[in-house]
Amino acid sequence: MATRCRLLHGYFAHPRKRSALVSHRASRLHRHLSGSQSTCWRGGSCAVQSCSSFASGARPLALCACPSRRVLALFSHISGKGRRVVGVARQTECVLSRVFPTLALGLFVLPASAQSAAPIKLPASAQAKIEAILRDPNLQSGHVGVAVVALGRSTNISSIRVQPFAQGAQPLLFSSDGDKRFIPASNFKLFTAAWALESLGASYTFQTRATMAPVEFGSSVVLPTGMAAPVALTLDGDGDPSLTGDNLKALADRVAASPLVKDKSIIVRVAPSRFGAEENGRRYPDGWTIDDTIWYYGAPVTGWALDRNQIDVTITGTKPGMPTEMKVVGEMPFSIFNGALTATDAASATGLHFDRGDRNSPLGAALAIGGTLAPGATDTEGVAVPDPNEWLRVRFITLLQQRGIQVVNPNVAFAMGQGQLVASHTSAPLGTILQRFLKSSDNLYGEMLLRAASTRDPKKKWPQVASTGIAARSHGAMLDWLSEKKVPVGALKMSDGSGLSRYDIVTPVAVTRLLALEAGQKDGPAFYTALPIAGIDGTLKNRMKNTPAQANARAKTGTFSIVNCLSGYVTTRDNVRLAVSVLTNFAPDGDAARERQGQIFAALADTKWTK
């Protein structure tokens, strides 16, 4: 970077060189953009006369984008003191390499005065609004923490990137119990998402492979006359949380089309995953409750996911006194007994209760549904699959048989030789997967991504780690990284990847510093894009509508019985990007707590320092 800066300085410092070069090349740039109208980064209109002004020596500060998107940056004030080197948009290279070859290194020069000083506190009116919201009686018996950090000036509300303040300052503008400890619920997903991007990268893809290997039986096994020894077809993967039934069908199509399996009998196996501790009985992180485990949001943690390891069960009331109707979306991996009845009316309906047995109960892992529903009433619940590995194996066997492949189950021990790849499935990039994870707040994604991100050992033993197995390894390495990046980790506690654990602990200040960190990370745009947008999509689709925060705030929700949290980004009226964390525990009215969080984001979106 220093070498490039000296090169730029030397090239433009000589008056004659600067005058001749700038006039000639700026006129070429002007001709290239002739007739186009661009949008100035400051939000106004910036026509191409900036180029001619630049050539004549006026050197106005302008960062522009022409409609063809061939140029995203025009730079000026190349000479003079107080230069500051900042990055240039990638799309400029095609033009700049022809117009300003020396600057095609990917740099441009701005005076230090172009960076504004950071605010040191919120405007008095904004602070007064937030303090009034925090005095709401619905919050007084709860535990509420708020932190607000200024990141820089936003040039595009749809981008995480900001123009830094002078000296890169990111001041804490407001804190109310910002250093206190809170249960974050799904706000912990912010840590998991950031760590997955750091460890794996936004372009990382997961692989699911079908490999074939010869089988060797013991001497006591006698095959039927004329029957060739079967081969083992093994499903192996690295923890793709997004695998769907359609993906599995496409994989079965490729297997059936392979000449490697033609006229062969197949034994189908599902390989153990590298999530070793979870596979050996620790399928539920510490801090989850037993009633979590029946529902879609508490599916057991293994190295395999298929259709999010859940089925959807819908119960509908019929005529008074009659059995209810049941509809199941997804292939049932267990028996369901629907004993729910239809009540006389809504007033007498008790609602439904779901209960599941286990391997020791007479009916195994069957699901039993009881209670009553009003006539015409509907209740849909997502129910977790208790054994995802076996569910995957059985469904894959069915798909292979439907495609004419003979599948056998010898029920005896056998050894396998070296495997050969038959077919594979590649997931979407991690950056795309994160959108499902954060916008829909998917717990299973969080647990699998945390473990997939365990790519290195921690440098030390962290007392903040409350997990076991590969999750503990990933948490430890995450804490190494956060500490190196100056995110305060002393008050944190980490037990899972989703925030469902009641043992997870964060502070509002730590969350805002994580958000500030991501704003400058290489894969920060993927992180920002994956967040729900207020009033638009995800878990914020119906929140903050018709407020200044709508289509502005991008934030992660966090909710269960005693927790309501909201943390993310919001941009003020004068384009200051803020990182905000509002964490609420033990508020008596969760709906009211969520409404107050939205009011804080809206107040910040409506904030303005300039008159």
Residues 96 and 156 in one domain: no
Examine the fold and report which residue of 396, 427, 458 is the final residue of a domain before the chain moves on: 427
> Which residues span the domain enclosing 13?
2-114
Q: What is the pLDDT of residue 179?
A: 98
- Of 114, 142, 165, the last residue of a domain is 114
Residues 243, 216 share a domain: yes
Q: Which of 221-225, 346-350, 370-374, 412-416 has the lowest mean pLDDT?
A: 221-225
pLDDT higher than 90, residue 187? yes
- In this structure, are strands 207-217 and 414-416 parallel, antiparallel, or unpaired? antiparallel
Contact 62/76 with Cβ under 8 angstroms? Answer: yes
Q: What is the pLDDT of residues 416-460, one digit of tens each?
A: 777 899 999 999 999 999 999 999 999 999 999 999 999 999 999
Q: 256-302: per-residue pLDDT in tens? A: 999 999 888 899 999 887 776 555 557 889 999 988 989 999 999 98
Tens of pLDDT, residues 104-152: 333 333 444 567 899 999 999 999 999 999 999 989 999 999 999 999 9
CA dihedral 384, 387, 393, 394 (to 10 degrees): -70
Where on the phi/psi map is residue 499: left (φ > 0), alpha (ψ -120 to 50), or beta?
left
- Is the Cα dihedral 93, 99, 101, 107 positive or negative? negative
- 360 or 497, higher pLDDT: 497
pLDDT of residue 169: 96
Let me know whether 420 and 507 are in one domain.
no
If one compares 244 and 220, the residue with the highest pLDDT of the two is: 244
Percent of the chain exceeding pLDDT 70 equals 76
Residue 611 domain-assigned (yes or no): no
90 pLDDT more than 70 = no
Most confident of 229-238, 354-363, 517-526: 517-526
22 and 64 in a common domain? yes
Under 8 Å between Cβ of 543 and 559: no
Can you give the C-alpha Rg of the chain in angstroms?
A: 29
User: pTM of the prediction?
Assistant: 0.81
Choosing from 427, 454, 471, the residue where a domain stops is: 427
Total number of domains in the chain = 3
- Same domain as 586, residue 441: yes
Q: In the predicted model, what is the mean pLDDT of the chain?
A: 82
For 560, counting Cβ atoms within 10 Å of its Cβ (0-12 exposed, 13-18 middle, 19+ buried), the class is middle
CATH code of residue 555: 3.40.710.10
**Same domain membership, residue 21 and residue 102:** yes
214 with 188, same domain?
no
**Whether residues 389 and 487 fall in one domain:** no
CB-facing half-sphere around the CA of 249: CA atoms within 13 A: 5
At residue 15, does pLDDT exceed 90?
no
